[in-house]
Structure 1
Amino acid sequence: MPKQIYFWAALFWTFAIAFLCLVSIGNVVPQVSLQNADKYVHFTFHFVFTWLWFLYFSHEKIESSNAKTILAVFLLSFIYGISVEIMQGFFTIARKADIYDVLANTTGAVMAVISIRLYQKYMQKRKLSN
């Protein structure tokens, strides 16, 4: 897949997170009766965010990408998540900053990092067995 596609997918996801977190879409989105459902959404946002930016930055060398790339995309996700929460607190009326959202964001990014590392190990073992 061309690197350009990874870039546009990651950029789209980044803007989608900002839009969905900063714009009040109350009546458009159906209400879910699952307790803390928004935390699962935040987790998913940052899990996918971390993977997409990792794919962009490590294009064509996924299984051998170094720890600096993984750390960079984790920090990008972490800082972006905090930034969105700060913007919610200062620039929106219907939304508020929530430390638990930051925790859910961070957990999603950590789980993405773990899944990236597991995928890399799987690919390395597969490459060695061929």
Structure 2
Amino acid sequence: MLLITIRCFQVRLTKNLLVHKLIFFWLAFSWTAIVLVLCLISFNNVPSVNVQNFDKYVHVFFHFVFTFLWILFLKEQTKNGNSKKPYLVSFLFSVFFGMLIEIAQGAFTINRQADVFDVLANTTGAFLAVLVLSIYFRLKR
């Protein structure tokens, strides 16, 4: 009887871990799609915000959340909780994804332009996410 109870617990635990992986994946994937769409569509009729360099703050926020979610997903995939790989992969993915979006804005949109400072803002957001999560998980240990 004890063996059956232990196996049932293991199955439930495994299912719960799978649910976390799926949740993190779909959150990260959905945010990636949202960022892609919002960065490539035109916002002509949207009222502008009167904050200097507001779009750079938006880029920092987009890539902070982007990197944050991908790190959480990749950390769930790795067996080694101390691995730096999820941080590096997520950071590089965010930076290259941001660069590709800027290239696409310059090549395929009429009202949008590629901007090197947007890439810098994207990189800043990605770096902040890596910093915040690495501190959080270090303190959690």
Indicate whether the TM-score tops 0.5: yes
Larger Rg computed on CA atoms: 2
Equivalent residue in structure 2 for 1:19, among 37, 54, 59? 37
**Residue matched to 2:96:** 79
Is residue 56 of structure 1 aligned with residue 73 of structure 2? yes
Is residue 90 of structure 1 aligned with residue 84 of structure 2? no
**Residue matched to 2:28:** 10
Identical residues among aligned pairs (%): 48
Equivalent residue in structure 1 for 2:47, among 8, 30, 52? 30
CA distance in 2, matches of 1:83, 1:101: 12
Deviation at 1:61, TM superposition (A): 6.9
Distance 1:81 1:62, change over 3 A: farther
**Residue matched to 2:57:** 40
Deviation at 1:116, TM superposition (A): 1.0
User: Do the aligned residues in 2 keep the contact of 1:58 with 1:65 (CA within 8 Å)?
Assistant: no
Q: Which 5+ residue runs of structure 2 have no aligned equivalent?
A: 1-18
Structure 1 residue runs of 4+, over 2 Å off?
60-65
Deviation at 1:31, TM superposition (A): 1.1
TM-score normalized with structure 2 length: 0.82
Deviation at 1:60, TM superposition (A): 7.7
Distance 1:113 1:62, change over 3 A: farther
RMSD: 1.8
**Residue matched to 2:15:** none
TM-score normalized with structure 1 length: 0.89
The letter for the 1-side match of 2:57 is: Y
User: Any idea what the Cα deviations from partners look like across 1:12-50, whole Å, max 9, x if unmatched?
Assistant: 1101111111000221x3310000000000000000000
**Which structure's relative contact order is higher, taking Cα pairs within 8 Å and 6+ residues apart?**
1
Deviation at 1:63, TM superposition (A): 9.4
Q: Which 5+ residue runs of structure 1 have no aligned equivalent?
A: 125-130
User: Do the aligned residues in 2 keep the contact of 1:42 with 1:105 (CA within 8 Å)?
Assistant: yes
Distance 1:100 1:45, change over 3 A: same
User: Residue 103 of structure 1 aligns to a residue in which SS?
Assistant: helix
Deviation at 1:59, TM superposition (A): 1.6
